[in-house]
A and B are shown apart, each in its own frame.
Chain A
Amino acid sequence: MSASLEIKNLNVSIGNKQIIKDFSLTIPKGEVHAIMGPNGTGKSTLAKALAGHPDYEITSGDALMDGESIIDMEVDERSRAGLFLAFQYPMEIPGVSIANFIRAARNARLPEGEELNAPAYYKELYEKMDTLKIDRKFTSRSINEGFSGGEKKRCEILQLAMLNPKYAILDETDSGLDIDALKIVSEGVNALRGPGLGALVITHYQRLLDYIVPDKVHVMYDGRIVKSGDKSLALELESKGYDWIKEIAGDAA
């Protein structure tokens, strides 16, 4: 059985519009892959479709986690099977604290009848909050309510750290972050890297990839991958710009 997140000839539409076109990619456990591309090219759509967002329809193709197809699973089933999405725009949930939210998420993964060990949970939560430099006062604040962009993104990584997924998709986790926040978030992600985690980092800018160094880089354009390479591809893209990509895509079509 393959230990990977395998996307096979995926086609995704929203309404009548096709966004993802015959998309294929394999992310083995233990590796970090990056996807870069201009705006409107389908990067976030890919992330949401893999997570199971109801607005996006998978018209054909498949996605498999460790050999098991996930496209017919409910959003929460996929999550419990080990898929995590760090949102580009995390939602506010008024009246639900960070502590309670993560606790509910952890409880959802426990077998029926089992309850979380509260002291152990809080100890772990505080340790991880400290590492991500999230003030402990935030524990009781409603999740994402009134948070700055940087605080929201760090909160996403806190959830990533607390839920220990097998595969993580980070959707433009660097947007809206200053250098310090970027470093903290990257350290948080890097601390989780290992043979048990496969990660897909979606980003607009090369800068994040200086901190979260990818094993492979893929460039996406018009709903498909047009070029793949190692981390140097990101630097090449940065210096040549996205017009270069349009050329390549044009050649490939």
Chain B
Amino acid sequence: MTTAANNIEIDRDKGDFKYAETHKFDAGVGLNEGTVDYICDVKGEDDWIRDFRKRALKVFQDKPMPTHWATKDLENIDFNKIRYYLAGDQRAKKSWDDVPDEVKETFERLGIPENERKFLAGVEAQFDSEAAYSNIKEAVAKDGVIFMGSTDGLMEHPEIFKKWFGKVIPTGDNKFSALNSAVFSGGSFIYVPPGVKVSHPLQAYFRINAENFGQFERTLIIADEGSEVTYMEGCTAPKFDTATLHSAVVELVAMPGAKIEYITVQNWSSNVFNLVTKRAIAHENSVVKWIDCNIGSRLTMKYPGVILKGRKARGEVLSIALANDGQHQDTGAKMIHAADDTTSNVISKSISVGKGRSTYRGQVHMPKHLKGCKNNTECDALLINSDSRTDTYPAITVRGDQNYVQHEASVSKVSAEQIFYMQQRGLSEAEAMSLSVNGFVNDLTRQFPMEYSVELKRLIELEMEGSVG
């Protein structure tokens, strides 16, 4: 059955977004030491960064693709055909007329404000939000909060940056953290001074500019003792990009008593390989909460993690994934307990539609010498159609006799009887399906900021329309 939702997928695959790109800075295709030098030269980076990048490049080149456990689809990434650094105002010279109707319709359905649509469709290089961004910067600067791009952060605050950069996620953690460490650009650098509670969520959305549209972002957030901050990245609206590989690294550091909440809504176009490494170090009495929502991309591999380093630290991952035709959402969480009385909570809800595939991978680690640690994991999968697929791979290692782990998993489908009941009240089959699916993720979407949860609800409705009939 061809519907608007299906049409969007088909158009994306055909690459309707081919257009002439002119860039001020272009490292060219392929990756070698010359590419790294180019990036450093353009940015005017210090030698320590250049060395860091070059060492990372070597690690990246030496590491094999992890296809012994991950999907073989990774082999379809051709590293030689990728552009690793693009910047400049001329990035997207496409006309609004060229944007497919289905795309425009999606924006309409999701209620995306007029002025944002051109940016999201790649018609405009820069979302004219400099004003909004500056206002936020000013407001939080009064409290001593540093909120800037990672490139600027690296230059202007090397003492803070160097202390933690690459310490939460070492270069050699995996092939893609190594890649990011070699070519990173863009992303946010945030430092919150002790005791400061940032009242308004900080958004990355405003900051995406012509510099590679989030391809190899590197984000570092440090919340000093007793401080609190919420950070949001991404948006529900589909982001169309010809760049096929996105490999971000996000490092969070929660000092004693601090609280960090990191919210991501990802909806990359279906040509994108989205391979992200996200991890936090949580010190004594701190809390780190990852709220992760994956709707787009061809393949997403992402396992937000928390290293519970200090006593009574708490880590949480709330994850929603929706996989439609041609998509594989391979997500999960990592909770590494490294101190007594630490707690972790993982709630994962995945929905597989059409031929979509969802995978949950959850690591929970509690060594023998610890006591009083608790983990609670709940992973629920919803299968919509008969070809939909879901897999669960929990990796739980608990040692010692004073630790506690609870793991619950469920797989369900929306029953025909439930649909009949809802239809008997006047809802169409598609409306009934979206209501069920929204109900399934309701516990989690309730925890998103209001605008996100409203958009998410509409997005789910849109995705579900193609699933019935």
Contacts and interface: CB of A to CB of B under 8 A. Distances in A.
Interface stretch (A79-87, A131-139, A172-180, A202-210): A79-87
B418 interface: yes
A95 interface: yes
A51 interface: yes
B422 interface: yes
Interface string B425-450: 11111011001101111110000000
A90 B425 contact: no
A87 B425 CA distance: 11
Interface residues of A, number: 29
A108 interface: yes
Contacts, number: 78
Nearest to A81: B426
Nearest to B434: A104
Contacts of B115: none
Contact of A96 (B415, B417, B429, B439): B439
Given A95-B441, A102-B425, 15 more contacts: A51-B420, A52-B424, A54-B420, A74-B423, A76-B423, A87-B424, A96-B436, A96-B439, A101-B422, A104-B427, A104-B435, A105-B427, A108-B426, A109-B426, A163-B426
Contacts of B418: 91-93
Interface in A144-164: 159, 163
A85 B418 CA distance: 14
B421 A91 contact: yes
Contact of B435 (A75, A91, A96): A96
Interface of A: 51-54, 74-76, 79-80, 84-85, 87, 90-96, 100-102, 104-105, 108-109, 142, 159, 163
Contact of A93 (B416, B422, B423, B426): B422
B129 to A, nearest CB: 29
B269 to A, nearest CB: 29
A17 B421 CA distance: 24
A167 to B, nearest CB: 13
A90 B421 contact: yes
Contacts of A163: 425-426
B439 A93 contact: yes
A190 to B, nearest CB: 22
29 contacts: A53-B420, A54-B420, A74-B423, A74-B429, A75-B420, A76-B424, A76-B428, A76-B429, A76-B431, A79-B426, A80-B426, A90-B421, A91-B417, A91-B418, A92-B418, A93-B418, A93-B439, A95-B438, A95-B440, A95-B441, A96-B435, A96-B436, A96-B438, A96-B439, A101-B425, A105-B425, A108-B427, A108-B428, A163-B426
